[in-house]
Structure formats: C-alpha cells, structure tokens
Structure 1
C-alpha cells in the first residue's frame, strides 16, 4: 500500500505504490461511492466518497476551510499539502478524477471542487493531474444488446440502430450497479476522461466568484446577462 500515515477512514485506498500508476476518484455521494468501491480495480484505483456539497471556498477563510470535513479529507488523502505548502513530490496519486452526477447538482459540486483545487492546489492542474469523469446519461437496450449514450444525439443514434429499444435515463451515479459503473466510467479501456486545464479552472473560479462571492450587484448582473444559460442553475 502507499505510505498512508493517518488516511481518512472512508478512503478505500489502492495497492499501487507508484503514484504515477495510482488513481483517486472523488465520488459524489455514499451510494455511488459504494458502487465505485465494488466496481473498481483496487490494484490502482482508490475511492473517496464525498457527502453532499463541499464547502464554498470562495466565501470561507482558510481556518474555516481546514475545519470542513470533506475538504480536510481530500487534502489528507492526496498527501501533498495545500497553497504555499503544496509539494507535488508528495502527491499520492497522479490521476485525481472528479466523478459527479451528470445533472445540475453534480455540476455545482464539480465547480466547487474545481474552485478549491484552483485556489489551493493549482499545481495539481498545471501538472495535468486533474480529470473529470464523464458518466453516461442513457442506457439504450434491446434484448441482450446494450449501448450507453453520453449525449442526446448519441441516444438518438443508438435508437436508430436498435429500433423499439428501451431507454433508461441515469439520474445519478448511484443508479448504476458496480459493473455498469466500471464499464462506462472507470475502466481505462472504455471510459471517457476530460483533463482539466487551467482555463477550465479559471472559468469555474470566475463564475463562482460572481455567483458565490460577497458582492450582490455583480451576481445580479451576471444572472441577468446569462439568464438564457442559467435556466437550470442551482446555486
């Protein structure tokens, strides 16, 4: 096992000793976290379930942030410190994968996590260690044939291939059994990962600075200017 010290109790660690071969999944919710723990390859994949929305670091002072259980758990699991004390050489995993539901709440949680990393572990992003998992939105099935769809267009294409096929809409990661989660979102051979760039993080941080910061007027102007984009915004 990796040198653990006092690792968080809910972290299901991997067996890999080389950080370059180790992955950490930050998973939204205990239900999906349980499925991920069952479906993973424990040789190189570690799972850390996160409960609910993590602290909004845009509004919190450092001392308060360090008292937040979910934030503290992430920092401890990664093992590299934060901010000026961040040391990439101590990083326990070279792939950190945010795995949240493909819905408004999931997007909100992803943005909170991105903002935290941008503010306090920016080097993690600069070095290309941060990724977003891309879970499917639909399962199209007919008989024994199953096809996963990651967009509306892909769903329609599968329905043309499988006329009269059934469609299952995944409302959350917790609705997938461990095998489905592995096949669609975790298996290196079949999954889709988006590497987070510093531009992605800056955009997330800027949006959150406006939407979650202390200044009311910029927030009102942003929502008015982007009302067409914010119909499903849940902040």
Structure 2
C-alpha cells in the first residue's frame, strides 16, 4: 500500500475484491457516483493486531481512494475489548488503558488514604489526583524498563538541582550520564576507546531519555500534593507510612508506588471481566451485542486527519529509514 503501484495493489485478490465490491473502480477510472454503499465500515479486533490491520486499510483508502474519505463514506467500528460486570450492571470497555482507569475509579470511590508521617488523609478528588500522578509514574517505569533502568534507579541520577540526565553514554563497561547535548558532544569528542588486544575500537552507545521532561513534570505534580520523590520507593528499615482502607479492607503500604496495586485490588472486587476474542471467533450473539447492535455499537467516521495520521504511522513503520522507525517504536 505504501509503495506499490495500482497494478500491484490490484494484484492482491483481497484488494481487488474490495474495489469490485465498492463499484467505484480506482485510479484514473474512479467514479464516486458508482459507489454501491453509503457506509464502508472497517471492522477489526480491538487488540494490537486489529489496530495494525485498520492502519493498513486506512492507508489504502487514503492513498488510493481518498475521495471516499472526503465524502464521509469510510467508518471504523469500535468493538470493545472487555465487558465488565458488577452485579446486574454491565459496561463495555474499549481497551486495556480504559479498563485500568475504570478499576482505579472504582477502587478510589469509597477509599481513604492516610499519610501517617504527614498526618493527612486523601479522599475523593484528592485521592484521584494522587492516583493520576502515580499512574504517570507507572507509565514512566514501563518506558524506562526498555532502556535497562528502573524508575528509582533513574530518579537516583538527579543532580544537585534536581535535574535528570538526558543521555546515557556507554563505552564498553564505562557508563556516564549527561545532562544535555553540550555535555554529550564534549564526551563524544574523546572518540572511541581502543579495543583489547588490537581488536576493533569500542564505539560509544547513546541512549536518549525522552521521558526526562514528563518525569520531571510528574515530580513537580507530586510535590504539589506534598510528597518528595523519595516516597516513591520503600526505604530500608522504614515503617509502612501509608494506610489505604475502605469499608471492607485495609492495606499498610511502604511507598507511593505500592498504592496503585492496592487501589486496583479494591476496585476489582466483585468484578467479572470478560476479554472478548477476535471478531471472527465470536459467536453471533456476542458479535451482535458488542459490534452490530445499533443501540450499543460505537462507530467513528474517518476524517482526512485520521487517514493522514494512519498513513504517517504506516510510512514510518514500513519506510526505508531504520533510524526513524526505531525512534518511533
């Protein structure tokens, strides 16, 4: 789709069948008046694989049949990935992030967090504000894991002014952390280290911490709630400082990052969470209930902005520039 000519695109039987079904033809022979359907609905699974297939199809329409998008004929079905049931109440949730948000909302609804050292209690909106900040730190920790650091290891690298490093520079076993581009350039000016016993020189490896600014923003938000970042981790010998409780349970917690799992545990009580399989694996009743029923289904009309973003993602992932693709991933 990204690079192929029309003849090659139509060489794929699935694409050829799609164009035939639409009735508009393609390329110079395209005729919108011949379109056989008012809505062309892209239906894919709600997981990552489905997202990739949807991106591929949107790129095809953007590159080869853009007038269908301009005229408002392309739609995307949004099937849920989960059904959450508590008692007689059912709710459909479209992805894992929204599921986590719903569980956190339920977990904080009737909970009270006591900060023993600070002599404070967090309830309702204040507790939600804290949970939102801690969720950001959890996301930062996942991102840093791909770079070989834990959140607390990265936070320990703050300088005297509280600033985090932007780069990690590795030369063999030698690792240094640098605050900015100027410091990196100065370090790189030393060149490669000679390899042992006449082997090839050891070239420097650079990791950029794009997470620095978001993490520093999260630290500032945590400070506005009255906590230093040192409370994010357990300290040896320190008594558990936090107490999370509701009418049914109580937890003593040693660090701020221990709060999220406890809140999720509170919020998950009494929930039945069903993860839907792919659309093709659903039985007819499930497919109707989640995706086809006009009273329940969710559909989004594709705009040219949506298609441009899909095309950009596909061009990045399928393009020839390995560096750009690696940075995107």
Tell me the TM-score range normalised by the shorter chain. Answer: 0.5 to 0.7
Equivalents in 1 of 2:54, 2:34: separation in Å? 24
Counterpart for residue 122 of structure 1: 66
Deviations 1:44-63 (A, max 9, x none): xxxxxxxxxxxxx1132322
Counterpart for residue 224 of structure 1: 326
Structure 1 stretches lacking a partner, 5+ long: 1-56, 231-235
RMSD over aligned CA atoms reads 2.4
Deviations 1:126-171 (A, max 9, x none): 0011011101111123566533222315652689899513111124
The answer on 1:107 being equivalent to 2:51 is: yes
Counterpart for residue 152 of structure 1: 99
Which one of 267, 280, 285 corresponds to residue 179 of structure 1?
285
Equivalents in 1 of 2:70, 2:298: separation in Å? 21
Count, aligned residues: 167
Equivalents in 1 of 2:303, 2:106: separation in Å? 31
Normalising to structure 1: TM-score of the pair? 0.63
Equivalents in 2 of 1:166, 1:210: separation in Å? 39
Which one of 311, 323, 328 corresponds to residue 205 of structure 1?
311
Is the contact between residue 138 and residue 155 of structure 1 (CA under 8 Å) also seen in structure 2? no
Counterpart for residue 88 of structure 1: 32
Equivalents in 2 of 1:158, 1:202: separation in Å? 37
Is the contact between residue 75 and residue 299 of structure 2 (CA under 8 Å) also seen in structure 1? yes
Deviations 1:98-151 (A, max 9, x none): 000112211111111111111111000000110111011111235665332223
Which structure is higher in RCO with an 8 Å CA cutoff and minimum separation 6? 2
Q: CA deviation at 1:211?
A: 1.9
Is the contact between residue 59 and residue 212 of structure 1 (CA under 8 Å) also seen in structure 2? no
Is the contact between residue 111 and residue 204 of structure 1 (CA under 8 Å) also seen in structure 2? yes
Equivalents in 2 of 1:201, 1:65: separation in Å? 18
Q: Specify the SS of the correspondent of 2:10.
A: helix
Is the contact between residue 6 and residue 27 of structure 2 (CA under 8 Å) also seen in structure 1? no
The answer on 1:78 being equivalent to 2:22 is: yes
Distance 1:130 1:173, change over 3 A: same
Normalising to structure 2: TM-score of the pair? 0.46
Distance 1:129 1:154, change over 3 A: farther
Is the contact between residue 183 and residue 190 of structure 1 (CA under 8 Å) also seen in structure 2? yes
Equivalents in 2 of 1:84, 1:152: separation in Å? 46
- Which stretch has the larger CA shift, 82-91 or 119-128? 82-91
